[in-house]
């Protein structure tokens, strides 16, 4: 019988092209966004821009500003988070630093005004009103159901973690100095107005957050004001700063971020280690010792040629494999992402339902958007006998309360199977429905056992 998966161990120069500023017609219905599917949701989020246009012209390339004349969408955005929501959240034990930052940009520098310990709403409001401080709430999807619903759909769509912060800034004030981020950013303006200035990147698709001195910025490449219902996207590395115009009400905006450490470079660092492990198991050339003193001197031309040959061999092996790439990134994503959104009792997600699968049953996957399939060395075996296994990790039992809180412990949930089960698992994965008896396993007992294991883990249903 397959065993449960083991828990995890403890820009280029020059400004962006001008933004496109389409107007959006008023939307009808109670919810202006489409939650029927991840793809449908994202297209409704960036409407009227088409998804194909977005990824061809804007993604990782230049900012996109969507200004909308849509009262229904503006009302929906406003309901996502308001300044007044903080009062109730403070009663739930928010802490400075972990959950809330209070800050203000003074002479181009960030001044942090946090107190010690628990956040009290009256003190928070005094700092907001009297010190003109910005309130930053970390990862509000932990507390607000609709933000959980939005970000869970986006994680399914991007296949990458999606975090968020709420920024509430009083009139005539700025919370953060000019900086750029290492994430793709979507800004949703919820309340009031926010004046934005965007500058050409100094590091295209930056891999780290960095402040930028204002005297080095020059004129902004783009300058505009967001109003409730508007959306702004910009790629990682885009230098930006924002302030609430004086004489107006406060501004509340939601920053949704994704694709941190999700570049081809990151994936190669992850995937190549698995390829090397496999090659060393099967090819004696990879197990041969390096030249004497190679670690003490600069690599010789012969050593570099030998290394290049190994890399070409790995490339050939990669093109010839049909197994899922061994990837810790897959496991980390499954461990760290949001669980499926539900409006009621989450226990139903983790309770097997419907008929018990039998040999003559027709079955299909449940919650496929919340599963990853990968081949890895046995996580429970010893270093000397690391047999490769097939792992299915899922997020059905993940805790929303710890989402994107990096210091919180997380646990891997899922199943592991012998490598001989990989073809049968790919059959189920790639089929809309399949008969248990048609699975590519040696015996009927193995076929039923595989289906029962997936059903017990709430990952399979009988059609």
Instruction: Tell me if 70 sits within 8 A of 32, measured CB to CB.
Output: yes
Residue identified by tokens 């500003």 is 65
Task: Give the pairing type, strands 210-211 and 162-169.
Answer: unpaired
Taking only the tens place, the pLDDT of each residue in 154-184 is: 999 999 999 999 999 999 999 999 999 999 9
pLDDT exceeds cutoff 90 at 428? yes
Taking only the tens place, the pLDDT of each residue in 342-369 is: 977 666 677 887 899 999 999 999 999 9
Domain ranges of the chain: 38-258, 271-320, 328-462
| Whole-number percent of the chain with pLDDT over 70 | 90
Q: What's the rounded Cα separation, in Å, for the pair 74 and 396? A: 32
What pLDDT score was predicted for residue 26? Answer: 38
Mean pLDDT of the region 204-225: 95
CA distances from 294 to 279, 284, 304, 314 (A): 22, 20, 11, 22
Three-class SS of residue 413? strand
Taking only the tens place, the pLDDT of each residue in 376-426 is: 888 766 555 568 899 999 999 999 999 999 866 778 999 999 999 999 999
CA distances from 293 to 284, 308, 309, 343, 378 (A): 21, 19, 20, 63, 34
What pLDDT score was predicted for residue 385? Answer: 57
What pLDDT score was predicted for residue 352? Answer: 85
Taking only the tens place, the pLDDT of each residue in 184-214 is: 999 999 999 999 999 999 999 999 999 999 8
Identify which has the larger pLDDT, 265 or 25: 265
H/E stretch holding 223 reads strand 222-227
Confidence of residue 25 (pLDDT cuts 50, 70, 90): very low
In the CATH scheme, what is the code of domain 38-258? 2.60.120.650
Taking only the tens place, the pLDDT of each residue in 37-63 is: 999 999 999 999 999 999 999 999 999
Longest dimension (CA), the chain: 75
What pLDDT score was predicted for residue 322? Answer: 76
Show the tokens assigned to 341: 């959104």
Instruction: Tell me if 230 sits within 8 A of 254, measured CB to CB.
Output: no
pLDDT exceeds cutoff 70 at 73? yes
- Evaluate whether the domain defined by 271-320 bears CATH number 1.10.3720.10: no
Q: Omega before 48 cis (within 30°)?
A: yes
Nearest to 137 by CA among 278, 254, 271: 254
What pLDDT score was predicted for residue 49? Answer: 98
**What pTM value is reported for the model?**
0.90
In the CATH scheme, what is the code of domain 328-462? 3.90.930.40
pLDDT exceeds cutoff 60 at 318? yes
Taking only the tens place, the pLDDT of each residue in 112-170 is: 999 999 999 999 999 999 999 999 999 999 999 999 999 999 999 999 999 999 999 99
What pLDDT score was predicted for residue 417? Answer: 97
Show the tokens assigned to 89: 């959240």
Confidence of residue 326 (pLDDT cuts 50, 70, 90): low
Mean pLDDT for the chain? 90
Question: Sign (positive/negative) of CA torsion 420, 431, 326, 5?
Answer: negative
Mean pLDDT of the region 69-76: 95
Instruction: Tell me if 2 sits within 8 A of 449, measured CB to CB.
Output: yes
pLDDT exceeds cutoff 70 at 298? yes
Phi first, then psi, for residue 185 (nearest 5°) are: -120, 130
What pLDDT score was predicted for residue 347? Answer: 67
Q: What's the rounded Cα separation, in Å, for the pair 302 and 406? A: 44
pLDDT exceeds cutoff 50 at 436? yes
Question: Cβ neighbours of residue 35 under 8 Å, at least 6 residues apart?
Answer: 41, 149, 153
pLDDT exceeds cutoff 90 at 13? no
């Amino acid at each position: 019988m397959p065993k449960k998966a083991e828990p995890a161990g403890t820009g280029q120069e020059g400004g962006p092209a001008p933004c496109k500023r389409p107007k959006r017609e008023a939307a009808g219905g109670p919810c202006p966004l489409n939650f029927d599917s991840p793809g449908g949701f994202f297209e409704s989020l960036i409407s009227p821009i088409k998804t194909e246009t977005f990824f061809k012209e804007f993604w990782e390339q230049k900012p996109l500003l969507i200004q909308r004349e849509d009262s229904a969408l503006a009302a929906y955005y406003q309901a996502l988070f308001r300044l007044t929501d903080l009062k109730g959240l403070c009663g739930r034990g928010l802490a400075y630093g972990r959950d809330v930052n209070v800050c203000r940009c003074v002479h181009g520098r960030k001044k942090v005004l946090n107190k010690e310990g628990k956040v009290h709403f009256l003190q928070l409001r005094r700092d907001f009103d009297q010190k003109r401080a910005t309130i930053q709430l970390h990862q509000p999807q932990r507390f607000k159901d609709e933000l959980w619903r939005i970000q869970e759909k986006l994680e399914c769509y991007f296949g990458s973690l999606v975090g968020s912060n709420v920024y509430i800034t009083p009139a005539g004030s700025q919370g953060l100095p000019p900086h750029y981020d290492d994430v793709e950013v979507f800004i949703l303006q919820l309340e009031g107005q926010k004046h934005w200035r965007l500058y050409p990147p100094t590091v295209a698709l930056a891999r780290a957050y960095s402040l930028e001195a204002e005297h080095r910025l020059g004129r902004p490449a783009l300058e505009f004001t967001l109003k409730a219902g508007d959306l702004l996207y910009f790629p990682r590395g885009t230098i930006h700063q924002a302030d609430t115009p004086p004489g107006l009400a406060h501004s509340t905006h939601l920053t949704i971020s994704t694709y941190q450490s999700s570049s081809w470079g990151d994936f190669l660092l992850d995937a190549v280690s698995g390829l090397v492990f496999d090659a060393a198991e099967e090819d004696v050339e990879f197990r041969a010792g390096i030249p004497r003193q190679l670690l003490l001197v600069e690599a010789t031309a012969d050593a570099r040629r030998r290394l290049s040959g190994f890399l070409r061999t790995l490339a050939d092996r990669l093109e010839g494999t049909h197994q899922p790439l061994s990837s810790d990134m897959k496991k980390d994503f499954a461990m760290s992402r949001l669980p499926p959104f539900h409006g009621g009792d989450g226990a139903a997600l983790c309770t097997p339902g419907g008929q018990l699968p039998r040999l003559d049953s027709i079955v299909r996957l449940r919650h496929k958007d919340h599963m990853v399939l990968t081949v890895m060395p046995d996580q429970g075996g010893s270093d000397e006998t690391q047999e490769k296994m097939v792992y299915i990790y899922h997020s059905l039992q993940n805790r929303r309360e710890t989402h994107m809180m990096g210091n919180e412990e997380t646990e891997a949930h899922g199943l592991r199977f012998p490598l001989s089960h990989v073809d049968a698992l790919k059959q189920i994965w790639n089929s809309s429905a399949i008969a248990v008896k048609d699975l590519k396993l040696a015996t009927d007992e193995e076929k039923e056992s595989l289906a029962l294991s997936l059903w017990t883990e709430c990952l399979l249903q009988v059609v």
